[in-house]
Amino acid sequence: MARRPLAVVTGGAGFIGSHMVDLLVARGFRVHALDNLSGGRRANLAQHGANPDVVLDERDIRAIAPGDALFEDATYVFHFAGIGDIVPSIEKPADYMSVNVQGTVAMLEAARAAKVGKFVYAASSTCYGLAAVPTPEDHPIAPQYPYALSKNMGEQAAFHWHKLYRLPVNAIRIFNAYGTRSRTSGAYGAVFGVFLRQKLAGKPFTVVGDGTQRRDFLYVTDVAKAFLAAAETAISGEAWNVGAGQPQSVNRLVELLGGDSVFIPKRPGEPDCTFADIGKIKRDLGWAPEISFDDGVAKVAAAIDYWRDAPLWDPTSIARATEAWFDALTPAA
């Protein structure tokens, strides 16, 4: 009996990475999950606890050298590991360059040594900056802060390894992923984690601006399926946008979650709308989103207890947490 194929998932105990592990196991893969648990949680892989074909390695990605046994015989590498959030990247840019750029190089080198069949890089739509919408893949690149820059530099490194070393590489530029298991700790950041903890505490939702800003929210299982499609295709050297292609307002999210709102100042450097042009991935890979926004929010709300230990933000604590953001990104008078 032939041994099942192996995939490496970096950030495999994290938000998107753990859903990637679920999908791969369901499709018959063995999985090596690499995650130092700085943002991921062992509990995200608990459903695979008795499965000997799912291995969690808790090393930092920067500690992996070419020839590491974790990558031996791997068919695919899905690279999600890294650090996110805007404010910490403004405060500690060198950390982001180290983890998101040098860490990516370490993964590329490990994948190259293992002669993997495909390396799929988790890129970010923040590379486009304050973009025209809907945003195609050939839109000018204009990162607004170090997180966005570091993710784009990681993407450039991946494609450089493809060009120079012929490593089969594709990239997925993720727009606004949401869903169960999204991060619950750390800096002020993604709207879902903020709102869900506020709802649990019976506090008003802290809505930025007037709430009419729209985001291209895509449910996490649809994201994972896009990554698998990008691995299984014969195409290499391509980047694809992944979003729902149907931006939703923050006010609509508030309506679906149910609760009162308090409004806080609009932040500089943030687009009024993110809107992925997903025509290319539909044409090339036959991928399309499956989970509607209403259904996705209902899935998250049903699992709301997951966010009980998340930080509870209010207008005062948010104002303190975003001082560096306003200082760095407010245009000079």
Task: List domains and CATH numbers for the chain.
Answer: 6-177+219-242 (3.40.50.720), 184-215+246-274+291-324 (3.90.25.10)
Which pLDDT belongs to residue 333? 64
Which pLDDT belongs to residue 320? 94
Instruction: Write the DSSP string, 14-34.
Output: SHHHHHHHHHHHHTT-EEEEE
Mean pLDDT for the stretch of residues 35-43:
95
User: What's the whole-number average pLDDT of the chain?
Assistant: 96
Q: How far is CA 195 from the centre of its chain?
A: 18
pTM beyond cutoff 0.95: yes
CA–CA gap between residue 265 and residue 51 (Å, rounded): 48
For residue 1, pLDDT over 60 is answered with: no
Beta-carbon contacts of residue 299 (< 8 Å; ≥ 6 apart): 179, 180, 219, 291
Supply the residues annotated as catalytic: 147
Contacts of range 232-236, beta carbons closer than 8 Å, 24 or more positions apart: 232/118, 233/170, 233/284, 233/285, 235/170, 235/284, 235/285, 236/118, 236/162, 236/168, 236/169, 236/170
Q: How many residues does the chain have?
A: 333
Percent above pLDDT 90 for the chain: 92
Q: pLDDT of 113-156, one tens digit each?
A: 999 999 999 999 999 999 999 999 999 999 999 999 999 999 99
Contacts of range 313-316, beta carbons closer than 8 Å, 24 or more positions apart: 313/188, 313/194, 313/197, 313/198, 313/206, 314/203, 314/206, 315/206, 315/262, 315/264
Which pLDDT belongs to residue 40? 94
CA–CA gap between residue 185 and residue 271 (Å, rounded): 25
Strands 214-215 and 248-249 come out as antiparallel
Q: Provide the angle, in degrees to the nearest 10, between the axes of the packed helices 191-201 and 293-302.
A: 50
One-letter amino acid of 48: H
Per-residue pLDDT band for 2 (boundaries 50, 70, 90) equals low
Per-residue pLDDT band for 293 (boundaries 50, 70, 90) equals very high
Per-residue pLDDT band for 222 (boundaries 50, 70, 90) equals very high
For residue 323, pLDDT over 80 is answered with: yes
Q: pLDDT of 72-104, one tens digit each?
A: 999 999 999 999 988 899 999 999 999 999 999
| Residue of 150, 137, 15, 22 whose CA lies nearest to 88 | 150
For residue 312, pLDDT over 60 is answered with: yes
CA–CA gap between residue 119 and residue 251 (Å, rounded): 38
Query: 236 with 161: CB under 8 angstroms?
Result: no
Beta-carbon contacts of residue 318 (< 8 Å; ≥ 6 apart): 188, 206, 264
Strands 30-34 and 54-57 come out as parallel
Which pLDDT belongs to residue 299? 98
Q: How far is CA 9 from the centre of its chain?
A: 13
For residue 186, pLDDT over 80 is answered with: no
For residue 47, pLDDT over 80 is answered with: yes
CA–CA gap between residue 88 and residue 83 (Å, rounded): 9
Encoded tokens for 22:
């679920």
CA–CA gap between residue 196 and residue 288 (Å, rounded): 27
283: number of CA atoms within 13 Å, CB side?
7
